[in-house]
Structure 1
Amino acid sequence: MLELSRLRALHAVAMHGSISAAAIALGYTPSAVSQQIAKLERETRTTLLERQGRGVVLTDAAQQLAATAQQLLALVEQAETALEERRGQPTGRLVIGAFASAARGLMPSALAELARSHPTLDARLVELDPHLTPDLVARGVIDMAITHDWDISPLPAPDGVERAVIGDDPSDVLVPAGHPLAGHAVLHRSELADQRWICQPPGSVCHDWLVRTLRASGHEPDLAYQVAEYQTQIALVAAGLGIALVPRLGRSAVPEGVCAIPLEPAPVRRLYALWRPGAARRPAITETVRVLRDHWPLRH
């Protein structure tokens, strides 16, 4: 008889594209995932993974088995949801995917409350790109996701996913203390032209917002430093190298020599929790959404 844990490992490799990524999603080591696949190959007497360069690819037989595994895992989720709903208490495993600043600024206190209040709930966190998580939720790779959108780029609602608003995260302009803008109580978008910018790389919503906003005012932005991590951007601002637009969530206190100035109208990203409709009755889902909202740190 095929073991569900081994089918789950194969399904994760199929969904994530590699053993290492599957291990992160499952909370295992890569060697543990490899061992599960090897056992499944022996049980089925079938080659499931083939080496290709530094990675692996699924054989045709593995693709077929992974599709069956997805159906079985969906049935297991339905059964677990029904049992959890009957008990009326959050229980079982709940894998949550969150982007970096949400993982840092929101999840620690929320996860601590869930662990303290619901010891039978095994809530787990995986840091993921917010653009990937809606599809991962829809396909059943993770149970819930924390993602976001901006005013210029609303989050599309993919088929098979429900969502709830967690909170709004405004952004400030960070400038060196000696900068000509440092004395302003509020900045307006017309004042942002002709500045040397520190921003995220192309493809990020923050980068796109900055480019669109400055071009709309007739100015081509000078994007001198393009780095993904906000903490690195803040360090570059502190060094006097430029100014940056940084969301408040997950942002540590600005260091000495840096000023955070509100922008009017304020660019805001909105955070959502996503889950599959089939899991909506799970007390684990409803309780986690409640706790995330209660622990939202940016109250006005």
Structure 2
Amino acid sequence: MLELRRLRLLTEFVRRGSIAATASSLGYTPSAVSQQLAALEREVGVALLDRTARSAELTDAGRRLAERSEEILTLVEAAEADLSAQENAPTGRVVVTGFPTAAVAFAPALARSLGDHPGLTFVLRQTRPGEGLRQVQSGEVDIALIDDWTGKAPEQAPSTLKFFHLRRDPVVLALPEGHAMADPTVPVDLQELRDQPWMAAPAGEPSRRAVERLLDTVGGARPVPWEFEGLHTILSLVARGIGITAVPALTLAAGDQGVAVRRLPGRTIAREVYAVTRTASVRRPSVAVTLGAIHAAARQTQPTPPES
């Protein structure tokens, strides 16, 4: 009989592409992963991996079993969800991972809401861009909070994942409170701001590209003089009068003191925020109640400034 744990290892190997990367993602040693995959080969009676001294690739039989493994694991999770759906109250452990600004913004509301379910253990983690979808697909987490700047994430995702739209998150201007354009009666003039000291995330970060797109509308600007990891770090420097920036509005949900927020003129640059879970787990009471709490947290968190 096939062991589900070994099938999960096989599907993770497909996603990662090597035994070393599979071991790293799951917290095993490469030797342990290799031994478990070898045991799976003995169970099915055919070679699943074509091994060399430095690499391993799936054989044709390995690819066929990997495809079936996805189906098997999805069916098993669906069966577990169907059984747990008969429970009267959500119980067990739910792990949610999110990009940092969402995790910080939603955490207070989630803690208040999910505190009403004593049988539920809730874990909220932060993750790097692009990791959330992989983690929810592999089963490492139950729900991922992701941001999408392309508008195409749901249509490009596999059918095993279910997307729930939470909110549109526009980019806004963040200024020191003493700045002339912090006054809501003064129109925001990007042309006038283009030569001021802008701060942004490192090159390649989505929020950095948003700043560059914004400044391109007024002919570009001099190179960003300061780059910092973490949008909250940047906002703390704005509050100290060191420079100005543009960030997604959700970043300001914590209410940074000393920062004035203005809507930007013209066409709004924005990202879409989603909660993503495996389609097979949607009916689990613990996942369903957590999704409901996430939706409520997204509705309650509306830091976008009013039109001036």
User: Which bin holds the TM-score, normalised by the shorter protein?
Assistant: 0.7 to 0.9
Query: What's the CA shift string for 1:44-85, capped at 9, x where partnerless?
Result: 4579697988xx755547655544432321121121122123
Q: Where does the alignment leave 5 or more consecutive residues of structure 1 unmatched?
A: 24-28
Are the counterparts in 2 of residues 185 and 262 from structure 1 also a CA contact under 8 Å?
A: no
Cα deviation for residue 21 of structure 1 reads: 5.0
Q: Which residue of 1 aligns with 2:102?
A: 102
Alignment match, 1:75: 75
Shift of the 130–37 alpha-carbon distance from structure 1 to 2, 3 Å rule, reads: same
The DSSP-based 3-state class of the residue aligned with 2:167 is: strand
Q: Is the aligned partner of 1:145 residue 2:148?
A: no
| Contact kept in structure 2, 1:175 and 1:260, CA below 8 Å | yes
Q: What are the equivalent positions in structure 2 for 1:1-300 lying under 5 Å apart? A: 1-17=1-17, 18-19=21-22, 22-23=25-26, 29-31=27-29, 35=32, 38-42=35-39, 44-45=41-42, 59-60=58-59, 65-87=65-87, 89-91=89-91, 94-107=94-107, 109-110=109-110, 113-114=113-114, 117=117, 119=119, 121=120, 123-134=122-133, 137=136, 142-150=141-149, 153-158=150-155, 159-160=158-159, 161-176=161-176, 179-182=179-182, 188-190=188-190, 191-220=192-221, 222-237=223-238, 240-249=241-250, 251=252, 252-254=254-256, 258-265=258-265, 268-296=270-298, 297-299=300-302
Judging changes above 3 Å, is the alpha-carbon distance between structure 1 residues 99 and 22 closer, same or farther for their aligned structure 2 residues? Answer: same
SS of equivalent residue, structure 1 residue 223:
coil
Task: Give the 3-state SS of the residue equivalent to 2:154 in structure 1.
Answer: coil
- Distance in 1 (CA, whole Å) between partners of 2:57 and 2:177 is 55
Percent identity over paired residues:
28
TM-score, scaled to structure 2: 0.71
Aligned partners of 2:238 and 2:31: how far apart in 1?
A: 44
The answer to whether the 8 Å contact 1:199/1:206 transfers is yes
Is the 8 Å Cα contact of residues 236 and 256 (structure 2) preserved in structure 1? no
Secondary structure of 2:250's counterpart equals coil
Matches of 1:79 and 1:9 in 2, distance apart?
20
Determine the C-alpha separation between the residues in 2 that align with 1:146 and 1:178: 35
Asked whether the 8 Å contact 1:176–1:182 carries over to 2, the reply is yes
Q: Which 5+ residue runs of structure 2 have no aligned equivalent? A: 304-308
Residue type of the partner of 2:263?
L
Task: Give the letter aligned to residue 271 of structure 1.
Answer: V
> RMSD across aligned C-alpha pairs, in angstroms?
3.9
Aligned length: 287
Check whether the contact 1:110–1:295 (CA below 8 A) recurs between aligned residues. Answer: yes
For 1:84 and 1:42, locate their aligned partners in 2 and report how far apart those are by CA, in whole Å: 31
